[in-house]
Amino acid sequence: MSITLSLRGGDPARVATPLLAVGLHSGGVFPRVLAALDRAYGGVLSRAVRQGDFKGARDESLLIVGSGRGPARVLLVGLGESSDTYAVITRAATLAGRKGNSMGVRRMAFWAPQLSGDTVEAAAFGLSRGAWDFTDYKTQPAAKDRPKPLVEAVVIATNARGSQAALAAGIALGEGQRIARRLQQLPGNVCTPEHLARMARDIGKRHTLRVSVYGRRDLKRLKMESFLAVAAGTPQDPKLIVVEYRGGRRGEAPVALVGKGLCFDSGGISIKPAQGMEMMKYDMSGAAGVLGAMEAIARMKLTVNVVGLIGSTTNMPSGTSMNPGDVVTASNGTTIEILNTDAEGRLVLADVLAYSARFKPAAIIDAATLTGACVVALGNSATGVMGNDDALVDEVLLAARRGGEPGWPLPMWDEYKEMIKGDIADIKNIGGRGAGTITAALFLREFVPAGVPWVHLDIAGTAYSETDLVIIPKGPTGVPVRTFVEFVRGRAR
């Protein structure tokens, strides 16, 4: 279910709402502009701050039930000490949205000091993100005990009129991320390559984008032996999905966003251990990121041409699957020795990256849950960022930071390339024991069209969370939707 967001001005004391979330900084000072609200609450709000019951620390919250007019409840939410207002408001609004959603109030309002422009966007996005959940497969109890999700939220701003565009942007970002998280969370038997293609067509219809979908027969015609090797083990039709958004000048080179769309990765013949294998439904998170970003970019009408490219299939062992030792020729002519069938993402992306050449992109960014090694190196707090162009790497790192999805660079020195030199073919699909994230990226680099700046995002550690976090519940995070959108936005300015 989606959430309706709106904007208003005025004194929060006068907003009739079942729940008003109030963002407060740390430091023990109760803001004077909330005097009327404090009075309506008999002074307990300022007292809570004065007494230190509520310190305003990041992620802190305190619920206070009112007795009279105005907001029926106030949820104080800590903003902490950071000076990065956009990030602070995003986080607080997410927490507020999450609480509002679980409290069953249906509607809520959000106030923080001086919300206007950018911070209205942050609040709207945060509320939308916080309210996200996924209950499709939970049998609903009788109507009276049914959980009441948050369906409406109002942002109270100091400059409501002037912040409408910012609100729209926040909604766009929220909807884009919702699409991604939903696709991620759908199980592999529902979110198939066919399903991703359907979703792409859906987005295309909504925003009149050109969507092209290619199946196994087309991939054969395109000589995508590398992609097809991965798809050889599954009866499902693999899909190469292309979504074209034309928001820039006619003929202007597009930004290419490329996503790994493995709807399930069993490892194939090099099969994975049973423990945790269910997490490999998330192996299509890069593709989900591309689709979510296309939705947000189209909603925001960014003045840039963007082409989204997705390679989607599943990686299964079978009598028809690829085997260790197999050699294939990718569509760019490079021969690949497949030594481990579990290093399948790079095999799919090889042909998709090569295919992107026909769009003559100004830049390519790919996102893939590509290596467990990236989780070892960076954990769950940073995306691995590598590329063939330092300026583009920096541009993407900045975009990632703006979007609250931090990335960290890893080196791409030629020394590492030795590790994936083929014995009987040009290149092999695994390196040695070390530097697995880097050798995977170096493998991809071989398929990037000549002369095109390219950045690879390894989102294996950031696309989903295996534990419940303050801001994000266990499950999909929607990374890298924001990174993609912030990058394209940066190019639109």
148 is catalytic: no
Q: Which two tokens stand for residue 171?
A: 């909604």
Piece of 202-210, 240-248, 260-268, 295-303 that binds Mn ion (CB under 5 A): 260-268
Contact indicator for 293, 488 with CB cutoff of 8 Å: yes
Taking CB under 5 A as the rule, does residue 345 contact Zn ion? yes
Site for ligand BES in 267-296 (CB under 6 A): 283
Residue 395 makes contact with Mn ion by CB under 5 A? no
Among Mn ion, Zn ion, ligand BES, none, the one that 395 touches (CB under a kind-dependent 5 to 8 A) is none
Q: How many residues bind ligand BES (CB under 6 A)?
A: 16
Is residue 360 flagged as an active site residue?
A: no
Identify the residue among 337, 342, 351, 395 touching Mn ion (CB under 5 A). Answer: 342
Q: Of residues 164-183, which lie at the interface with Mn ion (CB under 5 A)?
A: none
CB of 186 or CB of 435, closer to ligand BES = 435
265 near ligand BES (CB under 6 A):
yes
Task: Name residues contacting Mn ion, limited to 261-290 (CB under 5 A).
Answer: 265
Binding to ligand BES by CB under 6 A, coded x per residue (else -) over 440-479, reads --------------------x-------------------
The answer to whether residue 430 forms part of the interface with ligand BES (CB under 6 A) is yes
Of 178, 216, 260, 346, the active-site residue reads 346
Segment contacting Zn ion by CB under 5 A, of 27-35, 101-109, 329-337, 341-349: 341-349
* Chosen residue from 369, 388, 462, 477 binding ligand BES by CB under 6 A: 369
Q: Which of residues 225-264 bind Zn ion (CB under 5 A)?
A: 262
Q: Is residue 436 a contact residue for ligand BES (CB under 6 A)?
A: yes
Q: Does 265 bind Zn ion (CB under 5 A)?
A: yes
Q: Which residues bind Zn ion (CB under 5 A)?
A: 262, 265, 283, 345
Applying CB under 5 A, which residues contact Mn ion?
265, 342, 344
Return the active site residues: 272, 346
By CB under 6 A, name the binding residues for ligand BES: 265, 283, 340, 342-345, 369-373, 375, 430, 436, 460
